[in-house]
Amino acid sequence: MKILALCKYVPESTALIKVKGDGIETAGVKYVMNPFCEFAVEEAIRTKEKIAGAEAAALTVGPAAHVEVLRTALAMGVDAAIHVCDDAFNGLDEIAIARVIARAVAARKFDIIFAGKHAIDYDSGQLGPALAESLDLPHVGAVQGIQWADDHKSLTARRRIEGAEEVVEVRLPCLITCEKGLNEARYPSLPRLMKAKKAPVETLNAAGLGLSAAELGAPATRMVEFTPPPPRPPGRMLEGEPADVARELARILRDVEKLV
């Protein structure tokens, strides 16, 4: 079985983000593997460990510095890493990135692709479904549990929907996007981290993928402006007898904030 995990390099969730007019200030910002991609990489490794002869690879799209997310995946336990890196891919939206990845992996015939449910940088969850469409694969999103068939040619996926749990049976090849709760990603040991720093990484560019500027086209969506959120207004203290305070609070929530 051939397994692929997609991973993305994103600012750490606790990082102090400063907004510029054309994006975010990246100087001094620590980058890490997207937390939902950690679930994807972990599930790829667990699947490899479960199925004899299986191989797992990790793939990312991004500039040269983003090779570090692949080093992390290698240290966790994937067998190979693919870095899709070209200035021509800068500024592409997730729909276009999905087409790029599809070109990179179509001939490799992966049996299952794991991706994160969404990325925490722009909070977008388009990549997994868009890639499934580009590769004409069945897709199950936001999966929290997987049970494999005995022949490993199909699986049963569990996912939360509003007010219930949905159970989906899907045959391979397929694409799964991973939700929190599917697994707990392992921490790679220091020796594995050191070994991963020297591991080979396959690099692909637009020319190597046979992608022309015309094929990439203009992104369907683009960011036109970045602004920080407005400052939070100061809190208001209500004083008086408890019953009076409760009535005033109810009035504010109903008439001013329109919350009830």
pLDDT in tens, the chain (260 residues): 999 999 999 999 887 777 776 677 777 788 999 999 999 999 999 999 999 999 999 999 999 999 999 999 999 999 999 999 999 998 888 999 999 999 999 999 999 999 999 999 888 899 999 999 999 999 999 999 999 999 999 999 999 988 899 999 999 999 999 999 999 999 999 999 999 999 999 999 999 999 887 777 777 777 777 777 788 888 888 999 999 999 999 999 999 888 87
Please report whether residue 122 resides in a domain. Answer: yes
Q: Give the angle 246-247-253 at the CA atoms, nearest 5°.
A: 90
Q: b vs e for 1-35, b when ≥16 Cβ sit within 10 Å of the residue's Cβ?
A: bbbbbbbbbbbeeeeeeeeeeeeeeeeeeebbbbb
Please report whether residue 227 resides in a domain. Answer: no
Please report whether residue 236 resides in a domain. Answer: no
Domains of the chain: total: 1
Residue 212 CA neighbour count, 13 Å, CB half: 2
Tracing tokens 């890639």 back to the chain, one arrives at 131
Domain interval for residue 47 = 2-216
Please report whether residue 228 resides in a domain. Answer: no
What local confidence, expressed as pLDDT, does residue 225 receive? 77
Q: Cα–Cα distances in Å, from 220 out to 93, 94, 217?
A: 7, 9, 9
Please report whether residue 238 resides in a domain. Answer: no
Q: Quote the DSSP letter at residue 146.
A: E
What local confidence, expressed as pLDDT, does residue 115 receive? 98
Instruction: Let me know how long the chain is.
Output: 260
Q: What is the pTM of this model?
A: 0.85
Please report whether residue 136 resides in a domain. Answer: yes
Query: Three-class SS of residue 4?
Result: strand
> What CATH number does the domain containing 203 carry?
3.40.50.620
Please report whether residue 233 resides in a domain. Answer: no
What local confidence, expressed as pLDDT, does residue 21 receive? 67
What local confidence, expressed as pLDDT, does residue 201 receive? 97
What local confidence, expressed as pLDDT, does residue 221 receive? 79
Please report whether residue 128 resides in a domain. Answer: yes
